[in-house]
């Protein structure tokens, strides 16, 4: 039997809102705070029990390449608040304009706790442990979403829906055109990035480990290391992992955060096929324990350690994105292209894991993200944000990151609030008004506004670091 039919049923309306944000990752956080601060009745639907998305569920508690000239508004408030709450663990943002890659790490438990407060202060209603399962559609316009939670199945009606699910869950499950194209050229054409993860080890004698690193500088630089250990163990069949080194971040007392795992996806396989996700989880857990045992048995400082925490979800790097009115292209981000309808600047370059064992990060010029990349093509009242952005594989591999996601979220939330207030569709919204509102709220909107000296520093960085493979 290939199919069965579900019986039709009457679904009760749970709530009505101006703006429904589905997914509470960095994009959803930016969207919800911006929408509510611009006067919209805003509700967030999140399938787990906290905000943060991958930043908390997969523990990617990092904003890379933070620069106040590039990102502002909600993200500035969040970083300031994290600082005030003692939640910033390691701040590398002052080097962003010159270094190829910098990261600012934060404590994801402080982040979760703090975000609940920030949402309450802004008047955002949160529904945790609730999954958006599809949209209420009337011809080419969305009118709300269906949700499922422990209480049952309901409808939430809204004027604008922001799909910030990280994988265009609402759009894709509602038949709105989406992209899932994979690599755009070369022998890997059509193939997708692998699944990844981070994990924490506690009981680490960080001082002892740092001393060991200093004594072995050829093997350990910055966060990257264990090269000869990993290579030898791999050759002897005693290590299961894809990288030739490990990323070991010890910015939290007694704890090491380990990163650098990839579970490649075979041709024709995707991070949204559930059997692949399950196989990826199992494979990643095997890599995690192999790395942990390697460190515990060989590296001073790890003798009395134990695995503290692995993520609730693996990193699903590359799933569905919404097809928008414009598809941001690889060329746009390398050239640092500007657009008249730009609403966000990004300084992030493509960070590509896989499909096989390689990791490539490429530096690009600061570039604009136009409003049309947030606006679903031919569908009214649906906006993309974060990893659901309308972009080709390479532009997506860049602008899916934490900071650009929060900023596209902020742009989507602001647009949604304006559209709801003015009673216009998201496709008809006056972009000049949106840009002015974003600027008023502290968000830079286009590379055209960047001072010449900042652009020049970024240009030098681009010329120096154009291509970096395996950081
Ligand atoms: C291990 C790891 C390392 C990383 N390293 C970095 C780094 O160093 N620097 C950096 O800037 N970025 C990094 N990233 C990337 C960054 O975390 C993501 O790109 C970013 O979180 C994407 O944001 P988002 O809000 O679009 O999606 P997500 O963070 O994926 O959030 C989506 C949210 O939607 C929820 N959701 C999904 N479907 C539904 C549904 N149907 N109903 C309700 N809720 C739903 C999910 O539970 C989730 O909370 C890393 C990611 C990982 C996992």
Q: Chunk the chain into consecutive blocks of 10 residues (it has 471) and report each block's average pLDDT, rounded to whole numbers.
A: 92 98 98 98 98 94 96 98 96 92 94 98 98 95 97 98 97 95 86 90 96 92 85 93 86 90 85 89 94 96 96 84 97 96 97 83 96 97 98 96 98 98 97 98 98 97 76 40
3-state secondary structure of 21: strand
C-beta of 103 in contact with ligand 1 (< 6 A):
yes
Residue 315: CB within 6 Å of ligand 1? Answer: yes
The dihedral region occupied by 136, where left means phi > 0, alpha psi between -120 and 50, and beta the remainder, is beta
Contact 111, 56 (CB under 8 A): yes
The upper half-sphere exposure of residue 95, i.e. CA atoms within 13 Å in the direction of its Cβ, equals: 10
φ, ψ (nearest 5 deg) of residue 141: -120, 145
3-state secondary structure of 389: coil
Whether ligand 1 lies within 6 angstroms of the CB of 260 is answered as: no
Q: Is 165 in the pocket of ligand 1 (CB under 6 A)?
A: yes
Is the pTM here over 0.85, yes or no? yes
3-state helix, strand, coil in the chain (%, to 5): 35, 25, 40
Ligand 1 contacts CB of residue 318 (under 6 A): no
Please identify, by atom number, the ligand 1 atom nearest to the C-alpha of residue 406.
25
Pocket of ligand 1, candidates 21, 25, 104: which has the most ligand atoms within 8 Å of its Cβ, to mutate?
A: 25
Is the CB of residue 374 less than 8 Å from the CB of residue 350? Answer: no
The answer, yes or no, to whether any atom of ligand 1 lies below 6 A from the CB of 405, is: yes
For ligand 1, atom 8, which residue shows the shortest CA distance? 62
For the Cβ of 247 lying below 6 angstroms from any atom of ligand 1, the answer is no
Report CA(159)–ligand 1 centroid distance (Å). Answer: 25
Please report the atom of ligand 1 found closest to the CA of residue 130: 43
Regarding the beta carbon of 196 and ligand 1, being less than 6 Å apart is answered yes
DSSP 8-state code for residue 6: P
Q: By the 8 A CB rule, do 276 and 194 touch? A: no
Domain edges within the chain: 13-183+319-469, 195-316
Query: What's the 467 CA to ligand 1 centre distance in angstroms?
Result: 25
Atom of ligand 1 nearest to the CA of 404: 11
pLDDT on residue 92: 87
Express each pLDDT in 304-340 by its tens digit. 999 999 988 877 788 999 999 999 999 999 999 999 9
- How confident is the model at residue 468, as a pLDDT? 60
Q: What is the pLDDT of residue 469?
A: 52
Contacts of 156 (CB under 8 A, 6+ apart): 13, 14, 15, 16, 17, 20, 43, 45, 144, 145, 147
**HSE-CB for 434 with a 13 A CA cutoff:** 31
**CA–CA dist 256, 392 (Å, integer):** 35
| Ligand 1 pocket, residue 263 CB under 6 Å | no
Q: Cα of 26 to ligand 1 centre, how many Å?
A: 7
Statement: 13-183+319-469 belongs to CATH 3.30.9.90: no
- Nearest-CA residue for ligand 1 atom 4 is 60
23 pocket-lining for ligand 1 (C-beta < 6 Å): yes
CA-wise closest residue to 400 among 461, 465, 348:
348
The CA angle 403-22-127, to the nearest 5 degrees, is 110
Opening angle at CA 381, ends 376 and 385, nearest 5: 55
Query: Cβ(131) to ligand 1 under 6 A?
Result: yes
Q: Using the 8-state DSSP alphabet, how is residue 384 labeled?
A: E
Q: 55 CA distance to ligand 1 centroid (A)?
A: 6
Give distance in angstroms: CA of 169 to centre of ligand 1.
Answer: 13
Query: Residue 410 is inside which H or E element, if any?
Result: helix 402-422
Largest CA distance in the chain: 69
Per CATH, the number for 195-316 is 3.30.70
Q: Is residue 188 lining ligand 1, measured as CB closer than 6 Å? A: no
């Amino acid at each position: 039997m290939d199919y069965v039919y579900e019986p039709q049923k009457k679904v009760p309306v749970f709530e009505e809102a101006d703006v429904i944000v589905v997914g509470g990752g960095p994009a959803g956080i930016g969207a919800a705070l911006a929408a509510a601060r611009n006067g919209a009745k805003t509700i967030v639907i999140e399938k787990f029990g906290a905000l943060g998305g991958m930043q908390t569920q997969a523990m990617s508690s990092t904003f890379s390449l933070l620069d106040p000239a590039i990102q502002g508004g909600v993200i500035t408030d969040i970083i300031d608040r994290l600082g005030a709450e003692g939640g910033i663990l390691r701040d590398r943002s002052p080097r962003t304009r010159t270094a190829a890659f910098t990261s600012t790490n934060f404590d994801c438990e402080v982040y979760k706790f703090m975000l609940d407060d920030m949402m309450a202060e802004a008047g955002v209603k949160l529904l945790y442990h609730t999954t958006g399962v599809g949209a209420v559609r009337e011809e080419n316009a969305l009118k709300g979403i269906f949700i499922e939670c422990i209480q049952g199945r309901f409808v939430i009606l809204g004027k604008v829906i922001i799909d910030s699910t990280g994988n265009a869950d609402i759009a894709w499950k509602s038949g709105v055109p989406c992209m899932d194209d994979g690599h755009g050229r070369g022998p890997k054409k059509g193939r997708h990035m692998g699944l990844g993860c981070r994990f924490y080890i506690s009981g680490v004698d960080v001082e002892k480990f740092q001393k060991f690193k200093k004594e072995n500088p050829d093997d350990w630089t910055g966060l990257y290391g264990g090269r000869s250990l990993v290579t030898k163990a791999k050759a002897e069949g005693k290590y299961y992992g894809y990288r030739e080194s490990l990323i070991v971040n010890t910015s939290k007392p007694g704890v090491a955060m380990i990163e650098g795992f990839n579970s490649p996806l075979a041709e024709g396989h995707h991070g949204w096929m559930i059997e692949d996700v399950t196989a990826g989880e199992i494979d990643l857990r095997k890599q995690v324990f192999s790395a942990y045992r390697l460190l515990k048995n060989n590296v001073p400082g790890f003798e009395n350690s134990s695995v503290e925490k692995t993520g609730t979800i693996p990193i699903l790097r590359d799933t569905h994105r919404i097809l928008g009115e414009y598809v941001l292209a690889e060329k746009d981000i390398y050239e640092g292209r500007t657009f008249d309808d730009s609403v966000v600047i990004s300084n992030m370059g493509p960070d590509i894991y896989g499909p096989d064992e390689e990791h490539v990060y490429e530096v690009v010029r600061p570039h604009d993200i136009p409003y049309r990349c947030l606006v679903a093509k031919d569908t009214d009242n649906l906006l993309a944000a974060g990893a659901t952005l309308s972009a080709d594989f390479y532009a997506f591999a860049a602008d899916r990151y934490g900071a650009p996601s929060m900023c596209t979220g902020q742009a989507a939330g602001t647009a949604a609030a304006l559209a709801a207030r003015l009673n216009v569709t998201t496709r008809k919204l006056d972009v000049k008004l949106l840009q002015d509102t974003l600027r008023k709220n502290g968000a830079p909107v286009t590379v055209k506004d960047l001072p010449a000296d900042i652009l020049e520093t970024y240009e030098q960085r681009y010329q120096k670091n154009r291509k970096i493979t395996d950081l």
